[in-house]
C-alpha cells in the first residue's frame, strides 16, 4: 500500500470538508465559535476512544468465536485501520482490514461476515438510541424504514446464499474470474454470518454495541451542555444517533455533510440558534468521524512499517 496515497486522500477530503463548511458558514459566526470546543473536546475524545475500544472488543469476540483468534494488539490495529477509509459509501472501505487480517489466518469472507454482522447490529442499537429524538421530530418512520430495508437485504442474503452463487456462475461463464471470485467471497461472507446467530453471541454483541454507541451519544450530551444549548439530557442523548441514521440513509460516504446537516436541522427545530447548531454538529463530527479516521491512518502506518516484516501469526499481540 502506498501510504502517501492514503494521506493525500485524507488531506483532500479534509480540505473539501473545511471548504464546504467555510462556504456554508459565510458570516454566520461558526468558525468564530470553534474555540468554545477546546474545553470539552478532550473529554469527548475520551468517550469516543472508549466507544471504539468497546467496538473492537466486540470485533475480537466475534472473530474468536468463529475460530479466527489473533493477537490482540495486531488485531486492534487492523480493526482501527478500517476507520482510515470509513468515509466511503456503506463504510465498505473498512474492509481494508482484510489486508492485515488475512496474513494472520483470518479468511476474507470471515472479515466480511464480521463487518456485516456488526454493522447490522449497530443499525438496531443506534435506532434504539435515536428513537426519542426521531419520534419527537417526526423522523422515526424514515429512519425505521431505512434500517428495515437494510436489515431485510442482509437477511435475504444470509437466508438465500444461492442468489450470489448464481451471480458468480454468471460471471464465470462470461470469463470474468476475478469478479466471480469477489462475489464468491461475498457469498461465503454472508453465509458465515449464521455462525453468530446464537443467543450468547447476539446478546454479548448487542450489549457491547449499546454501551459503545452510548459513549458516543454521551459525548454529544457533554458538548450540548458545554455550549449551553438548554436541551433536556435524554433528547440530547438521542439526537446524534438520529442524525447518524439520517446521514447513513443518504448513502453519502461516511454521511459527510448529510449527518451534519441533519443534526443542524434537528437542533434548529428544537429552538437552537443556527450558528450554535452548526457548531455543535461540526464539534461532534470532529470528535467522532475525524478522530476515528485519524486513528485509522496511524494504525495503517504502524501496520505498514512496524508489522510489515513481522511473522504472519503473532499470538498475544
In which domain, by residue range, is 78 found?
42-305
Q: Check residues 250 and 66 and name the one with the higher pLDDT.
A: 66
CB burial class (10 A; 0-12, 13-18, 19+) of residue 317? exposed
Provide the domain count of the chain. Answer: 1
Q: Which residue, chain included where needed, has cell 493525500?
A: 8
Alpha helices in 137-198 (DSSP H): 140-159, 162-173, 177-192
Considering the domain boundaries, does residue 36 fall inside one? Answer: no
Q: How confident is the model over 99-123, as pLDDT tens digits?
A: 889 888 888 888 989 999 999 999 9
Considering the domain boundaries, does residue 158 fall inside one? Answer: yes
Considering the domain boundaries, does residue 3 fall inside one? Answer: no
* The pLDDT of residue 26: 62
Mean residue pLDDT of the chain comes to 84
Percent of the chain with pLDDT over 90: 43
Measured between alpha carbons, how far is 70 from 72 in angstroms, rounded to an integer? Answer: 6
Q: Which residue, chain included where needed, has cell 458570516?
A: 27
76 contacts 63 by C-beta, under 8 angstroms: no
Considering the domain boundaries, does residue 22 fall inside one? Answer: no
Q: Which residues contact 308 (CB under 8 A, 6 or more apart)?
A: none
C-alpha cell recorded at residue 227: 455550549
Q: How confident is the model over 158-175, as pLDDT tens digits?
A: 887 766 776 666 676 677
Considering the domain boundaries, does residue 32 fall inside one? Answer: no
Q: Of the given ranges (17-26, 41-50, 104-113), which has the lowest mean pLDDT?
A: 17-26
Measured between alpha carbons, how far is 205 from 21 in angstroms, rounded to an integer? Answer: 36
As a residue count, the chain comes to 317
Q: How confident is the model over 243-259, as pLDDT tens digits?
A: 999 888 877 777 778 89
How many helices and strands, by DSSP H and E, does the chain display? 13, 0
CB atoms within 10 A of CB 250: 16
Q: Check residues 210 and 254 and name the one with the higher pLDDT.
A: 210
* The pLDDT of residue 196: 93
Residue 317 has pLDDT above 50, yes or no: no
Per-residue pLDDT band for 316 (boundaries 50, 70, 90) equals very low
Q: How confident is the model over 116-148, as pLDDT tens digits?
A: 999 999 999 999 999 999 888 888 888 899 999
Among 78, 77, 68, which residue's Cα sits nearest to residue 106?
68
Residue 308 has pLDDT above 70, yes or no: no
Considering the domain boundaries, does residue 113 fall inside one? Answer: yes
Considering the domain boundaries, does residue 314 fall inside one? Answer: no
Amino acid at each position: 500500500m502506498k501510504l502517501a496515497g492514503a494521506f493525500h486522500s485524507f488531506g483532500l477530503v479534509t480540505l473539501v470538508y473545511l471548504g464546504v463548511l467555510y462556504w456554508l458558514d459565510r458570516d454566520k459566526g461558526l468558525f468564530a465559535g470553534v474555540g468554545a470546543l477546546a474545553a470539552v473536546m478532550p473529554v469527548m475524545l475520551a468517550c469516543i476512544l472508549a466507544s471504539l475500544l468497546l467496538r473492537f472488543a466486540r470485533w475480537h469476540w466475534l472473530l474468536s468465536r468463529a475460530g479466527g483468534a489473533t493477537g490482540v494488539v495486531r488485531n486492534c490495529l487492523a480493526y482501527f485501520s478500517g476507520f482510515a477509509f470509513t468515509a466511503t459509501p456503506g463504510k465498505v472501505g473498512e474492509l481494508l482490514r482484510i489486508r492485515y487480517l488475512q496474513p494472520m489466518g483470518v479468511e476474507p469472507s470471515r472479515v466480511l461476515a464480521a463487518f456485516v454482522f456488526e454493522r447490522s447490529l449497530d443499525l438496531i442499537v443506534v435506532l434504539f438510541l435515536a428513537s426519542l429524538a426521531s419520534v419527537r421530530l417526526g423522523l422515526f418512520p424514515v429512519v425505521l424504514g431505512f434500517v428495515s430495508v437494510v436489515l431485510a437485504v442482509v437477511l435475504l442474503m444470509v437466508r438465500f446464499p444461492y442468489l450470489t452463487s448464481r451471480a458468480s456462475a454468471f460471471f464465470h461463464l462470461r470469463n470474468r474470474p476475478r469478479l466471480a471470485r469477489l462475489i464468491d467471497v461475498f457469498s461465503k461472507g454472508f453465509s458465515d454470518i449464521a455462525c453468530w446467530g446464537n443467543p450468547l453471541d447476539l446478546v454479548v454483541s448487542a450489549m457491547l454495541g449499546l454501551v459503545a454507541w452510548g459513549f458516543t451519544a454521551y459525548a454529544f450530551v457533554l458538548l450540548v451542555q458545554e455550549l449551553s444549548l438548554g436541551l433536556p439530557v435524554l433528547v440530547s442523548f438521542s439526537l446524534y444517533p438520529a442524525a447518524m441514521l439520517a446521514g447513513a440513509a443518504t448513502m453519502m460516504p461516511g454521511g459527510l455533510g448529510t449527518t451534519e446537516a441533519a443534526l443542524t436541522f434537528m437542533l434548529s427545530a428544537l429552538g437552537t440558534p443556527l450558528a450554535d447548531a452548526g457548531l455543535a454538529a461540526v464539534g461532534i463530527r470532529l470528535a467522532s468521524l475525524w478522530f476515528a479516521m485519524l486513528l485509522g491512518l496511524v494504525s495503517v502506518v504502524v501496520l505498514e512499517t512496524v508489522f510489515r516484516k513481522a511473522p504472519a501469526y503473532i499470538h498475544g499481540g
